[in-house]
Amino acid sequence: MSQNAFKRFRRALARNALYFFTWFLNKLPYKTVDSLIRGLVAVGFCVTVRHRRVARESLKTAFRDHKDQAEINKITWGCFKNL
């Protein structure tokens, strides 16, 4: 299998997986989907340590002494939930 064919196969696989999960999530009740998404956001927040660090440093630079660490952490979590 050539490199181009493999690339097309991977893209088609990803596209069809997206279609499947879109269909699947549309069939589930809203509360179930909401719980799944909240769980994925929590896991993503725990896994993306580097992005959290960058977000906190940026907020510290932006707010300087106007916000304490707890408020900056709350804003960072809100950004991840909104994402």
- Whole-model pTM: value is 0.61
**Ramachandran quadrant class, 64 (left: phi over 0; alpha: psi -120 to 50; beta: rest):** left
Residue bearing tokens 């549309």 = 26
pLDDT per position in the chain (83 positions), as tens? 688 899 999 999 999 999 999 999 999 999 999 999 899 988 988 898 999 899 999 999 999 888 888 999 999 998 888 87
